[in-house]
């Protein structure tokens, strides 16, 4: 188990380094060289060039950075909002719980991608902010529901009653009871959330309702390469490989959820 996690972490660090350093050192991803139309991979351009003569490697680095940054932002937002709402719901109860539960159930009733689509449709097409908001909105419910049920159990335990009798205060309850209990679950949920966000983004790009060309995005890159799959297979394989590796790494990073 630890070896799998080490391997996943190593591979993920390599991908993150590629996404962060790549855009700084590689060529401009939008620079067109129409005379190098569909150039095969070479030493100078390890992944060749696309139909506009743009560097596939440079575009891949930018697309990976976009996926990771946007994914992390979505997960962080969903996690913060969902956890805060879940704890508030379990702790305060009453009408706060009723309202939050009703809102969350409304979100559960709608498929996640539809939420992202609706938010994207409201904003001008292809906005990164709309995509961010949509994915975060679709994901917070998961954190809310898990945190709410788990916090309810923790807050109802004799340990919290004892802490109340000792007048230890809310900070103690959060630091010593809730957070240590929720943390392992939240890291698991967050690594799954990264996968969902990245895949949602590329799915929307793939069906051309997400981000718009000429932005380098993994899903868009897959669609754009379709016309040339026989002449330039590297164009399609590169983004698919990155998506696959990102997914496998985040899944491999999870701890086993067994409670000691």
Partner 1 sequence: MTAPTSLDLHRVTVRHRGRPLVDVSDLRLEPGRPVTIVGESGSGKSVLAHAVMGTLDPGLEVGGAMSVGERRLDLADRSNRQFLWGRDLALLPQEPALALDPTMRVRGQVAEGVPGFRRRDQHATAVAEAALGRLGLADAGAAYPHTLSGGMAQRVAYAAATVGGARVLIVDEPSKGLDPASLDRLADLLAEHTAGGGILLTITHDLRLARRIGGRVLVMREASVVEQGPAEQVLDAPTHDYTRRLLAAEPSRWRHRWAPALPPADPSPALVTATRVTKSYGDVPLFEDLSLRIGAGERWAVSGPSGVGKTTLGNVLLRLTSVDRGTVEHAPAAGGGRLQKLYQDPTLSFPARVRLGLAMRDVVQRHDVAAGRLEELMTAVGLPPDLLDRRPAQVSGGELQRLAIVRAMMARPVLVFADEATSRLDLVTQEVTVDCLMTELSDTGCALLLVTHDRDLATAVADHHLDLGTPGRSRPSLAGILPA
Residues that bind partner 1 (CB under 8 A): 157-159, 161-163, 165-169, 172, 176-177, 180-181, 260
Question: What does the alpha-carbon distance between residue 216 and residue 30 come to, in Å, rounded to a whole number?
Answer: 8
Quick one: 159 or 207, whose CB is closer to partner 1?
A: 159
Nearest approach, Cβ of residue 229 and partner 1 (Å):
51
Contact 192, 250 (CB under 8 A): yes
Nearest approach, Cβ of residue 185 and partner 1 (Å):
12
List, in order, residues 6 or more apart from 217 with CB less than 8 Å away: 63, 66, 67, 201, 202, 205, 210, 211
State the CB neighbour count (10 A cutoff) for residue 13. 11
Nearest approach, Cβ of residue 178 and partner 1 (Å):
9
Nearest approach, Cβ of residue 159 and partner 1 (Å):
5
Q: Looking at the chain, list the stretches that DSSP marks H as alpha helix, in order from N- to C-terminal side.
A: 2-25, 56-92, 94-109, 112-122, 128-155, 158-165, 169-172, 179-206, 218-225, 233-253
What letter would DSSP give residue 49?
B
Contact 238, 222 (CB under 8 A): no
Quick one: 21 or 159, whose CB is closer to partner 1?
A: 159
Quick one: 141 or 173, whose CB is closer to partner 1?
A: 173
Contact 138, 200 (CB under 8 A): yes
Quick one: 44 or 166, whose CB is closer to partner 1?
A: 166
Nearest approach, Cβ of residue 75 and partner 1 (Å):
23
CA dihedral 50, 51, 52, 58 (to 10 degrees): -10
Contact 143, 189 (CB under 8 A): yes
Quick one: 4 or 159, whose CB is closer to partner 1?
A: 159
Nearest approach, Cβ of residue 165 and partner 1 (Å):
6
Quick one: 9 or 162, whose CB is closer to partner 1?
A: 162
Quick one: 182 or 204, whose CB is closer to partner 1?
A: 182
Phi-psi region for residue 32, left (φ > 0), alpha (ψ -120 to 50) or beta? Answer: beta
Nearest approach, Cβ of residue 161 and partner 1 (Å):
6
């Amino acid at each position: 188990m630890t070896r799998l996690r080490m391997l996943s972490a190593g591979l993920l660090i390599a991908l993150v380094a590629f996404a962060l350093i790549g855009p700084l050192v590689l060529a401009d991803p939008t620079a067109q060289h129409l005379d190098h139309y569909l150039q095969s991979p070479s030493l100078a351009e390890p992944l060749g060039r696309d139909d506009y003569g743009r560097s596939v490697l440079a575009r891949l680095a930018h697309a990976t950075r976009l996926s990771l940054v946007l994914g992390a932002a979505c997960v962080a937002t969903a996690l913060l909002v969902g956890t805060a709402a879940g704890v508030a719901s379990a702790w305060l109860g009453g009408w706060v719980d009723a309202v939050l539960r009703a809102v969350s159930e409304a979100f559960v009733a709608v498929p996640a991608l539809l939420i992202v689509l609706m938010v994207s449709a409201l904003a001008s097409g292809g906005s990164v902010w709309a995509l961010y908001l949509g994915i975060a909105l679709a994901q917070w419910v998961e954190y809310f529901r898990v945190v709410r049920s788990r916090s309810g159990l923790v807050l109802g335990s004799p340990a919290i009653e004892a802490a109340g009798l000792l007048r230890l205060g809310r900070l103690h309850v959060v630091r010593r009871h809730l957070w240590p209990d929720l943390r392992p679950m939240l890291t698991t949920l967050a690594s799954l959330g990264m996968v969902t966000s990245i895949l949602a983004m590329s799915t929307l790009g793939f069906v051309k309702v997400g981000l718009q060309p000429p932005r380098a995005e993994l899903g868009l890159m897959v669609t754009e390469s379709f016309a040339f799959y026989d002449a330039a297979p590297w164009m399609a394989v590169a983004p698919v490989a990155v998506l696959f590796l990102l997914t496998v790494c985040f899944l491999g990073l999870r701890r086993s959820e067994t409670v000691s």
